[in-house]
Amino acid sequence: MGGVHTTAFGMQRTDEELVALAITGDSESFNQLVRRWERQIYALAYRVLGREEEARDVCQETFLRAFRGIKGFKGQAKFSSWLYRIALNLCRDWIRKERRSAVMTPLDADGEAPLPDLTVETAEARTVRRDLGRLMTAAMATLSEEQRTTIVLKEYHGLTFQEIADLQDSPLSTVKTRLYQGLSVLRKQLRRKGVHGTATLSAVPAASLMARSHRKVVNFDR
Amino acid sequence: MTENSCIEQDALVDYLYGEADDDTRRRIETHARGCAQCADEIGGLREVRDTLETWSPPPATIGFRVVSPDGDEPQDRVLALAPRFGWGRLRRLPGWGLAAAAVLVLVTGAVVAKPEVQFNQGGMVVRIGWTDTMSSPAPLGVDLVSESELVATSDEPRPGSQAVRGTPVGTGRPSGLEPRRAESALGVGGAAGDGMMQGVRQMVRESEQRQQRALVNGLEQLEQQRVNRRQADLVVLERTLAGMGSADGELNRQQLLESVRALLSR
């Protein structure tokens, strides 16, 4: 089914158009959606769970469920919101199941991906990212799941407060409370570890650059 | 009011994220100029946001796509997940997700993995295998199904593991065995039988996972060896190129040719 993913003028199809095609049984259109959103979903799951393998599993399962349920998706929400909801439910399932064991314990350095895929990353940048990653996952682990999810959706996925409220089935003010309380806890945690915003920024140019470009992509997509 | 400032929480959050209306923004800024505590609160929370911005997930290979293994099958019944990249990428796939990795046929009706269970005088026989021809089944004592295993099975499977059953490329095709064969072969019924069945399923599941892990470990080692050799070749190549300008030009050219040949052959 080549050629259906772009219009006659070479423009990218919107999520809604691809969903409509996928519902008719065009799996390549669905794959286009996978490629468009898999990194976002993986990043979401990684930051909520703090674990790489589980984040990949959640990412994969999210798209499987989306594919199986695509016919039931009536466009009542944005496709991305729907994906976020599936992914967050899977994250929640995982967290509840793993509650007995240590949740959000970052893997040791050797447990991380040895092969960066498309990102060119120097050894130095990788070390900095891992150190910061360990620190952040440890700090995020002290938050409640709701606080963590709220911060992740707001900071990294650029959702509006209302969109987060809809996803969490919570009132707007609850979302803001979670955000405020989460940030306050993080502030204490990071202070204790001697991390200050500006110092961290200057110390990790590469990681910071990646985070910024990532955010830009999010905004572009939205 | 918040714990650390005189500004109402909602307004403070709106302000931090640039979503406060002009009036609120002006009010907060005017107040913060004269209130050290509020200024510190705002500055501190902004620092946290700056730090958060530097946190990126590790690069990961997550590419996969949905394929239809059999064009005649209705899409909502059978689908497969295939990695977008080659086998070399298998190394990054997770334990229980291995199934999905190796090119997975998923049947949404939950196909239990073709175990065959029989009772005889030697105890219980569990046969599992990737192909239709069962090879030398090992008799297992019933007592292998320990209480702890039974308890373990009461946990829910991880997301998707129920519906997802993996079949490595090459041998992958649904066997002729009926999914429910195991239950009917048992034929004892009752709570004890069910518990035992659960234990058996757990063992089967674990065995499958072990097989898959072994497969992937093997592939991983092979891939690592290949990468190592390639890197070694590249080093030789680089050194030779660096020495090209020296007196032993002819010798170096020979070495270079050999290295290139070795590299190309991989």
Percent of chain B with pLDDT over 90: 17
Percent of chain B with pLDDT over 70: 43
Least reliable range by pLDDT among A9-13, A42-46, A88-92: A9-13
Domain count, chain B: 3
Is B43 domain-assigned?
yes
User: Same domain for B71 and B197?
Assistant: yes
User: Same domain for B243 and B208?
Assistant: no
User: Same domain for B97 and B156?
Assistant: yes
* Strands B78-83 vs B104-107: parallel, antiparallel or unpaired: antiparallel
Is B58 domain-assigned?
no
User: Same domain for B212 and B226?
Assistant: no
- Please indicate if any CB of chain B lies within 8 Å of the CB of A30: yes
Which of helix, strand or coil describes residue A198? helix
- Please indicate if any CB of chain A lies within 8 Å of the CB of B94: yes
A133·B63 Cβ contact <8 A? no
Is B3 domain-assigned?
no
All residues of chain A having their beta carbon less than 8 Å from the beta carbon of residue B159 are: 57-58, 61, 90, 93-94
Is B106 domain-assigned?
yes
User: Same domain for B153 and B254?
Assistant: no
**CA torsion sign, A127 to A133 to A135 to A138?**
negative
Given a contact cutoff of 8 angstroms between Cβ atoms, the answer to whether B105 and B165 are in contact is yes
User: Same domain for B126 and B258?
Assistant: no
Give the confidence band of B123 by pLDDT, cuts at 50, 70, 90. very low
User: Same domain for B225 and B133?
Assistant: no
With a threshold of 0.85, tell me whether the complex ipTM lies above it: no
User: Same domain for B120 and B28?
Assistant: no
Is B59 domain-assigned?
no
Nearest to A167 by CA among A57, A85, A66: A85
Predicted confidence at residue B212, as pLDDT, reads: 81
Tell me the residue range of the domain where B47 lies: 9-53
Per residue in B44-84, pLDDT (tens digit) is: 999 999 999 988 888 877 777 777 654 444 444 334 455 55
Residue ranges of domains in chain A, CATH in brackets: 12-103 (1.10.1740.10), 116-222 (1.10.10.10)
User: Same domain for B151 and B128?
Assistant: yes
User: Same domain for B244 and B232?
Assistant: yes
User: Same domain for B45 and B105?
Assistant: no
H/E run at residue A217: helix A205-221
- Please indicate if any CB of chain A lies within 8 Å of the CB of B132: no
- Please indicate if any CB of chain A lies within 8 Å of the CB of B13: yes
Residue A180 has pLDDT above 60, yes or no: yes
Is B72 domain-assigned?
yes
**Helical ranges in chain B per DSSP H:** 9-16, 22-34, 36-53, 98-101, 147-153, 181-186, 190-242, 249-264
Predicted confidence at residue B202, as pLDDT, reads: 83
- Shortest CA gap A20–chain B (Å): 15
Its pTM surpasses 0.80: no
Of B64, B94, B164, the CB nearest to A53: B94
Stretch B82-98: mean pLDDT: 43
Is B145 domain-assigned?
yes
Nearest chain A residue (CA) to B78: A68
Residue B155 has pLDDT above 90, yes or no: no
For chain A, state the CA radius of gyration. Answer: 18
All residues of chain A having their beta carbon less than 8 Å from the beta carbon of residue B106 are: 64
- Please indicate if any CB of chain A lies within 8 Å of the CB of B15: no
Nearest to B13 by CA among A222, A184, A141: A184
Is B259 domain-assigned?
yes
User: Same domain for B25 and B84?
Assistant: no
What phi, psi does A41 have (nearest 5°)? Answer: -70, -40
Predicted confidence at residue B15, as pLDDT, reads: 95
